[in-house]
A = this chain, B = another copy of it.
Amino acid sequence: MTTAVTLDRTVHLLHEETSRCATPATRRCATCRVSTLCLPGGLSEDDLQPLDSLLLTTRRVAAGQSIFAEGDPFRFIYAVRSGTCKTAMLRSDGREQVTGFHMAGEVMGLEGLAHGTHRLTATALEDGEVCLIPYERLVAATVATPGAKDLVRHLMGQEMERDHSIMVVLGLTDAGDRLAAFLLNLSERHASRGYSPREFHLRMSRGDIASFLGVKLETISRTFSSFQKRGFLEVSGRHLRITDLEGLKSAYGLRLR
């Protein structure tokens, strides 16, 4: 049932992409609130100009809508402008494996690079806006401008670094450790966006977190309760308040087993 709906939306979206002229929301990076997150540091106004020639378009996405899907041709990379997204892969057993959560200023879709088609499906977790960066045009721009070259390098480097730090989390054998590491990571990312590192909304379901961390849904729920009982945090549905950040850190980080 849900998959049918998602599929439907995807088809709709693909159509929307081809007739993209209907939404002529061409934007300039210079005016973007989260450009400091997308772009490498130290870019001057001059460096930004060639990027504007890429004619970046933005697209509004509703919660649940897919942004690109497994198998779609790789044409764009997608920067989250506002909102939160998840990326997932269909496992051979038919269930979906969540591979990441993406906040404003983070980029998705680079995994399509090698095969020319996307290997992941990206879905919006809340209403938001994504920025479509035409990959070929971006690469073409690198020839002329060092700024664009830095951008490509920055984006790919970040992606690979992110992937490896995820592997470190998934290398932990304890569910509590994994959830703590996950929450601390979310906390940091909120902080670097100017939001409170101690209080925020979880945009993803327990099931999504469970899939991402390689444990079962119920375990996530129980571990939240356990953290709450131990006084590390207060959780009510998807609202989270970390009351003892240090405690949470030491519960995970300082474990010297």
Contacts and interface: CB of A to CB of B under 8 A. Distances in A.
Contacts of A154: 114
Contacts of A153: 113-114
Interface residues of A, number: 49
Nearest to A116: B157
A25 interface: no
A94 interface: yes
A163 interface: yes
Copies of this subunit: 2
B94 A168 contact: no
Interface in A136-170: 139, 143, 149, 153-154, 156-161, 163-168, 170
Given A157-B115, A163-B163, A163-B167, A93 B216 contact: no
B113 A157 contact: yes
A146 B110 CA distance: 20
A164 B91 CA distance: 12
Contact of A214 (B94, B157, B171): B171
B160 A149 contact: no
Nearest to A143: B143
Contacts of A253: 92-93
Given A113-B156, A215-B173, A167 B166 contact: yes
A120 interface: yes
Contacts of A4: none
A99 B156 contact: no
Contact of A159 (B94, B112, B160, B167): B160
15 contacts: A92-B253, A95-B257, A98-B171, A111-B157, A113-B153, A114-B153, A114-B154, A114-B156, A114-B158, A114-B160, A115-B161, A156-B160, A167-B170, A171-B212, A173-B215
